[in-house]
Chain A
Amino acid sequence: MPNDMRWRPNASLANLRLRADMLARIRCFFADCGVLEVDTPLLCQATGTDPHLEALALELAPGEWRFLQTSPEFAMKRLLAAGSGPVYQLCKAFRRDEAGQRHNPEFTMLEWYRPGFDDLRLMGEVEALVRTCLPTAMFAENTTIPQISYRKLFRQILALDAFSASDDELLACARQHADIGDMGLSRDDTLSLLMSLVIEPQLREPLFVVEFPATQAALAQIGQDNEGDAVARRFELFVGGMELANGYLELTDSAEQARRFDADNRQRQASGLTVHAADQRVLAALAHGLPDCAGVALGFDRLVMLAAGAAHIEQVISFVADNA
């Protein structure tokens, strides 16, 4: 074996201790509020249809394929429909082709669901959890984390209304901020570009973004904002110029869920991606009855990054993908 073989962990032992301490705090937090820890399979027969998420697949036995979960959402919703009550999970999730400063193809996710909560109430609990893990100095004194609508955020930072601006206006704005060559961008792609390249890096103080365009609802219910536009009952928490958590007032209507799977798959087909059969088990669970609930997924590694003051995810993961 060569002597120069790289074998040491990416993260410092101090950061690994901090990580362990935060896992313990999170478990304590949920034990105190009576949320049940669960443990669902990483290897799943079905996967999500989101056109921007690719699952890794592996062969259990000849011809018998499983997907590594991209999130534990479907399994946890099946537990909720079975009457589990509030549940949380700290687990590994896997996403193909995602690696960088804040991404590792294998990462740790904290996901939890609260029957009887709406998105607003869950944001309060997300804040309480995050405050138990991060230094007090990261939060403004004597006030809760502020909320801003997606519309207002775009107006403030880009002087543009993300709902009423034309596609051309959005594209012109994107071109002002980035050299995108002759890249073809849909309206939502352009919004994603502006959000992640221009807006997100500026969100240093903890901030909840709410009322996303209905086209970005994913698995959230759709409501209306005070200007009469359809908006997703979805929130994202940003801290230190980084997206930390994404939550929904969960969609409970199985027919609407089936329509969204179909719509995703049409988009996958149009983009030349593999079409994934809708997860029939989660649809059956929804048809049986998912309690009204709100749920949220939080990137645990990123939470450790914030607590450790780390600029790169490799500083908080023992062995990242290319050192695993």
Chain B
Amino acid sequence: MATFSTNEFKQGLKVLLDGDPCSILDNEFVKPGKGQAFNRVKLRNLLNGRIWERTFKSGESLEAADVMETDMSYLFNDSEFWHFMKTDGSFEQFAADKAAIADALNWLKEEDVYVVTLYNDNPISVTPPNFVEIEVVETDPGLKGDTAQGGSKPATLASGAVVKVPLFVNIGDVLRVDTRTGEYQNRVR
């Protein structure tokens, strides 16, 4: 297996630390006037999402983690697993469990494309696109005339997410939503 030394640590590099695959977020080189140099490395544990800082002696190395980020379209959920298929024409399918789907669970729509992170060929996380377009399945009727005041109300989307929307939004409308903030962007139709 390939290894990477601290001076090769770059943002986005995937390494194995204490047995878990981690993504490097930041790497800072520090050295006293005379003496041992260190690297303060910020990492995200890809299994549990935890972000923390680990200090290494400069020159130490870590094993590369077999982590791949792949575009896949969402197929269906069989109550235990969420099934995805590669978009590269291979028709290869993968099943994500509840822990892996967590970040995308509120934003799933069949046939939409998600970034599935595979570790040793198993999905460990699913990242939704920054913007999704999903239909409203439940919301109170809007009060006419209040639209200019910028009032808002909750609306439930077909994916299960609850989003704050303007009062003019009705059941059946398709909304564009920013998945990073959960904020309503506009009405698509």
Q: Which residues in A have some Cβ–Cβ distance to B below 8 Å?
A: 50, 52, 97-101, 103, 178-181, 183, 185, 188-189, 191-193, 195-197, 200, 216, 218, 236, 243, 246
Contacts and interface: CB of A to CB of B under 8 A. Distances in A.
Nearest to B57: A183
B33 A243 contact: yes
B54 A100 contact: no
Question: Which of B36, B53, B55 has most A Cβ within 10 Å?
Answer: B36
Contact of A193 (B29, B38, B52, B53): B38
Interface in B40-60: 40, 52-60
A52 B36 contact: yes
Contacts of B58: 97
A121 B101 CA distance: 66
B35 interface: yes
Nearest to A237: B33
B29 A196 contact: no
B28 interface: yes
A131 to B, nearest CB: 21
A97 B7 contact: yes
A53 B111 CA distance: 56
B171 interface: no
Given A192-B38, A195-B32, 19 more contacts: A50-B34, A52-B34, A97-B37, A97-B59, A98-B29, A101-B28, A178-B40, A178-B53, A178-B55, A181-B54, A183-B55, A183-B57, A185-B36, A188-B36, A193-B36, A197-B40, A200-B30, A218-B34, A243-B33
Given A98-B29, A103-B29, A52 B7 contact: no
Given A97-B7, A100-B29, A101-B29, A180 B55 contact: yes
B35 A192 contact: yes
Nearest to A201: B30
Nearest to A189: B36
Contact of B32 (A179, A183, A243): A243
Nearest to A96: B7
Contacts of A103: 29, 31
Given A101-B28, A179-B52, A193-B55, A236 B37 contact: no
A289 to B, nearest CB: 26
Contact of B35 (A98, A101, A178, A189): A189
Question: Which of B18, B37, B59, B60 has most A Cβ within 10 Å?
Answer: B37
21 contacts: A97-B7, A97-B59, A99-B29, A100-B29, A100-B30, A101-B29, A103-B31, A179-B53, A180-B55, A181-B56, A189-B36, A192-B32, A192-B35, A192-B38, A193-B38, A196-B31, A197-B30, A197-B38, A200-B30, A246-B33, A246-B34
Contacts of A218: 34
Question: Which of B30, B31, B32, B36 has most A Cβ within 10 Å?
Answer: B32
A180 B40 CA distance: 9
Nearest to B56: A183
Contacts of A98: 29, 31, 37
Nearest to A181: B54
